[in-house]
Structure 1
Amino acid sequence: MAVDQAPTRPSLSQRLAAAWDSDICWSFRHSPLAIVSAALLLLVAFTSSFAEVLMPQNPFDMMQLFLDKANLPPVWLEGGSWPYILGTDMQGRDVLSAIVYGSRISLLIGAASVLLSMSVGVLIGLLSGYLGGIVDNLLMRLGDAVMSIPTLLVAILVSAIFRGLLPPEFRDAFAPLILVLALTLTSWVVYARMVRAVTMVEAGKEYVLAARIIKVPRRRIILRHILPNVLAVALVTATLNLGLAILAEATLSFLGVGMPSAQPSLGTLIRIGNQYFFSGTWWIVLFPALQLTLIILAVNLLGDWLRDALNPKLK
């Protein structure tokens, strides 16, 4: 008599092989722009994470700054000095080190604001699309009110309010948190609207109607059945909006309401360097601006690829 055997779980190597042969991995392997963009973002993330080991100087440590090394040009120009590859600023701060440390701050603030915005937007979109009625009207009218005000104006207003409420000695320490909250307040509406639209479509499908008939709790229907089907849309939106979040943080810092000079992000470095651009020290503003441009370009290209890869109409 044959004995039924329980199905064996696939091994790690089998799961990795299946993931490698999946549609999205195949699309990634055949997209040179996606590969280059991902490699560039990984390089920026790696160097930013291990900046203390890789960089010749900590730009936040005043003990490592020397005024006799101020305003040195890049190393390939006359007057340049090793190890200051991209030169130094007016305080003797290594430009390359400042860019790497500033990239870390810009990426962390951008990623944190996108994650928080996506979480809030997905929750509001699910509730609005599934419950409908007065809940839908109230949440969407709130989103319309937020969207009717320019994004930067709302972010500047929120940042100014929080800075005014905090004691002066805590403003610099809480600057990243203030920026994340300011960017989240203006960004959640995009996720909420897209998730609401997908939720309204999914709520009318047979599997949701069947779950309602057998009295499945509403919370379980939303979390177990509808949420997995809206995550792809939210993920694509988050990838596309990451570049906008980094750019918004840089804009706020450039305007002086973002990160302080003692903890410079890329926007702060551009603002500081812009003040000395016409004095001949062009490298102080040029290289941070190029770094910011490359990061945003890589994020946008990767987001475009992910949007196309997850679009069933293009398969």
Structure 2
Amino acid sequence: MNKTDQVPTGALQPPVRPSRLARLRESDLSHSFRSHPSAIFATALLALVAITAFAAPLITPQNPYDLSALLLWNSEIPPIWNAEGHWPYLLGTDTQGRDILSAVLYGSRISLIIGFASVILALVIGLTLGLIAGYFGGWIDNVIMRVGDVLLSMPFILIAILITAIATASLPTGLKGVLAAPILIFAIAVPSWVQYARTVRASAMVEARKEYVHAARLIRVRPWRIMLQHILPNCLTPIMVAATLNFGLAILSEATLSFLGVGMPPDQPSLGTLIRIGNQYLFSGLWWIVVFPSIQLCLIVLSVNMIGDWLRDALNPKLR
């Protein structure tokens, strides 16, 4: 065999497939994110809030949930830039001697956890019921959608207050504080699953009539496998946008319930509880007790909504 007839060894090797990280970096979504300044700013702001909230025990001078660490002679101290302010209380203290910066960071952690967990729970319920309703149809679809219509006909906050009040009244006194967060998560998730279920149901009804689903049925593929592996991936785009936007709404709902006194207790304050407590002293000159938790809540919701708006535009094929 001549040298010219020899095949190079490298030509027989298959091409190297790029990694998932490389494919993600070169995707349209990544390019849209890099070219969207408001999305970058909102992501950086939300990341900063989340990092400082979950690292609060390392960077705050006080544990606001530890009642033994609260000193009454350090109460009502103004922010540090005020003439009467002093270190380490950068944002001042409340009427119990609780450091406002510590309380805001610890409260942000609770608000973020409750908001995220309630969205995940509502997402699981909505996806499951929406897939079942869209795939099977018939009386199952009618029952699920009529329950959703009943929930939509009632105000969101009224349902959440009703669930929270019933659950709290049914618990022993010692468990009310311990189970306050799970009760809030459940109360926010129950009226929120309907939007996900309706969105998934509409997509599932379309996908269930396509040929690949009929072919899967003919070869005796189980319904749950068809729903999870074939129908669900085609429904995720609108669900991702709805979940992102509802994350901000869930945090606001938690703050509203806590502000109304049916959320987190005063010894485990979230941002809503801190705003409720500070609102009582707003006109007595202690403005910092309510202003800084309110600013933190606004920053969280604003950043989440900005990310949701970008994601909605980036995943909309009509805007590409």
The residue that corresponds to 2:184 in the other structure is: 179
Residues 1:22 and 2:27 aligned together: yes
1:225 to 211, 222, 230: 230
Identity of paired residues, percent? 58
The secondary structure found in structure 1 opposite 2:38 is helix
Change (3 A) 1:5 1:161: farther
Deviation (angstroms), 1:214: 3.3
Deviating 4+ runs (over 4 angstroms): 1-9
Structure-2 separation of matches of 1:7 and 1:214: 34
Deviation (angstroms), 1:202: 1.5
Structure 1: stretches of 5+ with no match in the other structure: none
1:170 to 170, 175, 178: 175
2:267 to 262, 265, 268: 262
Residues 1:83 and 2:120 aligned together: no
> What aligned pairs does 1:189-268 form with structure 2 within 5 A after superposition?
189-268=194-273
The secondary structure found in structure 1 opposite 2:265 is coil
Q: 2:281 is matched by which residue type in structure 1?
A: Y
Which range is displaced more, 215-224 or 129-138?
A: 215-224
1:97 to 90, 97, 102: 102
Deviation (angstroms), 1:149: 1.1
The secondary structure found in structure 2 opposite 1:186 is coil
Post-superposition CA distance 1:40-98 (Å, at most 9, x none): 11111111111110111111112322212111111111201112111110111110110
Deviation (angstroms), 1:9: 6.5
Which range is displaced more, 223-232 or 113-122?
A: 223-232
1:118 to 98, 104, 123: 123
The secondary structure found in structure 1 opposite 2:117 is helix
Deviation (angstroms), 1:5: 6.8
Change (3 A) 1:214 1:291: same
Structure-1 separation of matches of 2:16 and 2:219: 31
Post-superposition CA distance 1:4-47 (Å, at most 9, x none): 97857646xx4322211111010100111111111111111111
Structure-2 separation of matches of 1:219 and 1:200: 15
The secondary structure found in structure 1 opposite 2:191 is helix
Q: How many residues align?
A: 313
Q: 1:181 is matched by which residue type in structure 2?
A: F
1:37 to 36, 42, 67: 42
Deviation (angstroms), 1:135: 0.7
The residue that corresponds to 2:3 in the other structure is: none
